[in-house]
A = this chain, B = another copy of it.
Amino acid sequence: MIIYLAGPDVFLPDAVEIGRRKAEICAAHGMTGLYPLDNAVNPAAASASLVIFKSNEAMMESADAIIANLTPFRGPSADAGTIYELGYMAGCGKLCLAYSNDPASYANRVARFHRVDEAPDGRLIDAEGLTVEEFGLPDNLMMIHALDLHGSPLVTPREAPEDIWHDLASFEACVRLAAERTQRLPGFN
């Protein structure tokens, strides 16, 4: 099974090394991991962003599944590019797996960045009066239930690991889920 490895990992100072480790974990379970090429493109080159987009889209097209790192990024929710890619793969009918190294509920995550109050009607709202959806899920319901219905429920650790950007235990749990799925489909590898 070929797996697209989505996540804000590409923004880490050691992005290339993390990609190598993720691909190695995939290989150890008989899977092929494809890691985005953001770092291989010179950001100063003309149309660098378009080159990255096209290469990432082509990787997704060639993959059977996605493992998305949905650890919160610069706010209460996951990285925008990763979310887009999860949606894209769901729309393509591919197997959708994901993990978050932060198990906190969405409302608790919002409260780290914004004031959250209870409105007279019982809804949670932010300072602008916009509803803070609280279903006890770790992030927006569209992503969480997409995983439930198009793959496997979001993998989270019981507690956030010390290094949320480098701990790959929940990532490896996703790779195991992909490997189990492959074994259940004998003609598929």
Q: Taking beta carbons and an 8 Å cutoff, which residues of A are in contact with B?
A: 8, 10-13, 15, 38, 43, 48-50, 52-54, 56, 74-81, 83-93, 110, 113-114, 123, 125-126, 128-135, 137, 139-146, 148-149, 165
| In contact, B74 and A142 (Cβ under 8 angstroms) | no
| In contact, B50 and A84 (Cβ under 8 angstroms) | no
Select from chain B the residue with minimum beta-carbon distance to A14: B129
5 residue pairs of the A-B complex, CB under 8 angstroms, read A49-B145, A75-B75, A81-B143, A91-B92, A92-B92
Interface centre among A52, A87, A88, A91 (most CB of B within 10 A): A87
Select from chain B the residue with minimum beta-carbon distance to A78: B80
B residues near A92, Cβ cutoff 8 Å? 91-92
| In contact, B114 and A74 (Cβ under 8 angstroms) | yes
| In contact, A83 and B87 (Cβ under 8 angstroms) | yes
B residues near A87, Cβ cutoff 8 Å? 83-91
Bound together, the chains give a CA A141 to CA B129 distance in angstroms of 30
